[in-house]
């Protein structure tokens, strides 16, 4: 029997949308509850008119999986729903999302401004790659809004930044950035990897386009490499067209796994945040810890900003142990439940020394200018028993 249920009702809650996705408007074949995995590189048509119709639809036309695939399109729409926007795009990795989105907005002769405190892979792109294509880059101290406006030029096409930043966890005022971007006619490209759309929706504050290393919290299980971008339909047209040229797409099975991961994003982020708050309180009181970076423990202005634009404080902690780099090496080597690894956002806790991983291409002086000391550790708090994590850090710090 066909249901007479109203399918035009207003948007549901985050958790409901994450689980059901766009299937309410577009039911799956065979009455399937789970989205099907369509393992097809190309798609056939009954006549030339049908083919032309699909090929002319740049946003949702399905004719070749480098452009669109039913499984990846469903996953992209699912993410866009959570972001509160029109359109999304999935990529083979986070750097593919970053580079493709930036390249969709600039050309030779343009200028971009970038806050200094960003992911190391993006630093490499803006420092060593983008200028080779005739795009000038100006670096600005993070949260120096007056300095940012002074750096903007008539040919500034984009401003790139992130919040919370990696690894210093600085909070950037998204509303203020939105005002600056509109006043100067510069597109705002924002990396929301550490917060996810569950904790923070940048587009609500006037940001134009959002990028993710979806490998991290969005996928959340340390078993997928993926990137994502979201934004208004017109914005995403350029992203999709550039992705079609460069080809950084994902396969259908990865898209299906991504949709499955989104269904548990809210539950996972709540547990991550619960554990991080407990662990941050422990670390800040430990005599072997020099300092702790965590939004809940930041100076009042930064904490108030996080509380205004984020649902919770996130699950990343930066902290510096007493004794410098040698001591940090020892602490890491003694941990039992926390994995030493360069990524973040998985269900397991992951720790890394930025000087060896995310910021290894920088000199010591450059890292210290950002506040990254030799004894600094970046911790991605997982979903283990928080009592076990506290006990693990106790023995590692005191050994």
CA-based R_g, the chain, Å:
22
pLDDT (0 to 100) of residue 329: 95
Instruction: Give me the mean pLDDT over the 378-395 stretch.
Output: 98
Q: Is 66 assigned a catalytic role?
A: yes
Residue 386 has pLDDT above 90, yes or no: yes
Q: Is 56 assigned a catalytic role?
A: no
| Cβ neighbours of 243 (radius 10 Å) | 26
Catalytic member of 28, 59, 64, 66: 66
Residue 114 has pLDDT above 90, yes or no: yes
Instruction: Give me the mean pLDDT over the 16-29 stretch.
Output: 78
Query: How far apart (Å, rounded) are the C-alpha atoms in residues 97 and 122?
Result: 11
CB 103 within 8 A of CB 78: no
pTM: 0.93
Nearest to 320 by CA among 277, 291, 350: 291
* Mean per-residue pLDDT over the chain, rounded: 93
Catalytic member of 191, 198, 208, 378: 191
pLDDT (0 to 100) of residue 11: 64
337, with CB counted inside 10 A (0-12, 13-18, 19+), is: middle
pLDDT cut 90: percent of the chain above it: 84
Query: How far apart (Å, rounded) are the C-alpha atoms in residues 174 and 152?
Result: 17
Q: Predicted confidence band at 69 (pLDDT cuts at 50, 70, 90)?
A: very high
| 74-101 residue pLDDT tens | 999 999 999 999 899 999 999 999 999 9
Nearest to 166 by CA among 198, 105, 122: 122
Question: Own/partner pairs for 284-288, CB < 8 Å, 24+ apart?
Answer: 286/393, 286/394, 286/397, 287/322, 288/321, 288/322, 288/323, 288/397, 288/398
pLDDT (0 to 100) of residue 5: 32
pLDDT (0 to 100) of residue 26: 61
Instruction: Give me the mean pLDDT over the 299-304 stretch.
Output: 97
Q: Sign (positive/negative) of CA torsion 259, 102, 177, 277?
A: positive
Q: Is 44 assigned a catalytic role?
A: no
Residue 104 has pLDDT above 50, yes or no: yes
pLDDT (0 to 100) of residue 23: 62
| 136-194 residue pLDDT tens | 999 999 999 999 999 999 999 999 999 999 989 999 999 999 999 999 999 999 999 99
Catalytic member of 67, 119, 217, 311: 119
| 303-330 residue pLDDT tens | 999 999 999 999 999 999 999 999 999 9
Q: Is 116 assigned a catalytic role?
A: no
Domains for the chain: give ranges and CATH numbers.
Answer: 14-262 (3.40.640.10), 265-398 (3.90.1150.10)
Considering only residues 40 and 27, tell me which one the structure prediction assigns the higher pLDDT.
40
Residue 3 has pLDDT above 50, yes or no: no
Residue 25 has pLDDT above 70, yes or no: no
Q: Predicted confidence band at 371 (pLDDT cuts at 50, 70, 90)?
A: confident
């Amino acid at each position: 029997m066909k249901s007479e249920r109203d399918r035009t009702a207003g948007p549901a809650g985050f958790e409901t949308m994450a689980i059901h996705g766009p299937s309410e408007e577009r039911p799956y074949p065979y009455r399937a509850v789970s989205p099907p995995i369509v393992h097809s590189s190309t798609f056939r048509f009954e006549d030339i008119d049908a083919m032309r119709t699909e090929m002319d639809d740049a946003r949702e036309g399905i004719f070749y999986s480098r452009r669109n695939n039913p499984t990846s399109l469903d996953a992209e729409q699912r993410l866009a729903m959570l972001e509160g926007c029109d359109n999304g795009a999935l990529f083979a990795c986070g750097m593919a999302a970053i580079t493709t989105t930036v390249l969709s907005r600039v050309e030779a002769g343009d200028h971009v401004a970038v806050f200094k405190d960003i992911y190391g892979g993006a630093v490499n792109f803006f420092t060593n790659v983008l200028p080779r294509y005739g795009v000038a880059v100006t670096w600005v101290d993070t949260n120096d809004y007056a300095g940012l406006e002074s750096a903007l030029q008539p040919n500034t096409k984009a401003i790139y930044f992130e919040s919370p930043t990696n690894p210093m966890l600085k909070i950037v005022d998204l509303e203020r950035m939105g005002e600056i971007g509109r006043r100067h006619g510069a597109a705002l490209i924002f990396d929301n990897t550490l917060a996810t759309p569950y904790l923070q929706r940048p587009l609500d504050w006037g940001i134009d386009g959002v990028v993710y290393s979806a490998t991290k919290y969005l996928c959340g299980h340390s078993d997928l490499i993926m990137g994502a971008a979201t934004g208004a339909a017109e914005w995403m047209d350029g992203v999709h067209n550039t992705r079609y040229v460069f080809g950084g797409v994902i396969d259908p099975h990865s898209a299906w796994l991504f949709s499955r991961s989104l269904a548990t994003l809210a539950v996972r982020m709540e547990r991550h945040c619960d554990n991080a708050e407990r662990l941050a309180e422990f670390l800040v009181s430990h005599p072997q810890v020099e300092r702790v970076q965590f939004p809940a423990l930041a100076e009042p202005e930064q904490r108030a900003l996080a509380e205004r634009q984020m649902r919770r404080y996130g699950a990343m902690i930066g902290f510096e142990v007493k004794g410098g780099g040698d001591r940090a090496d020892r602490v890491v080597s003694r941990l039992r439940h926390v994995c030493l690894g360069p990524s973040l956002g998985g269900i397991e806790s992951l720790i890394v020394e930025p000087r060896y991983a995310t910021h290894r291409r920088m000199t010591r002086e450059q890292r210290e200018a950002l506040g990254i000391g030799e004894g600094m550790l970046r911790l991605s708090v997982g979903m283990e028993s928080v009592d076990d994590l506290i006990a693990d850090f106790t023995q590692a710090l005191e050994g």
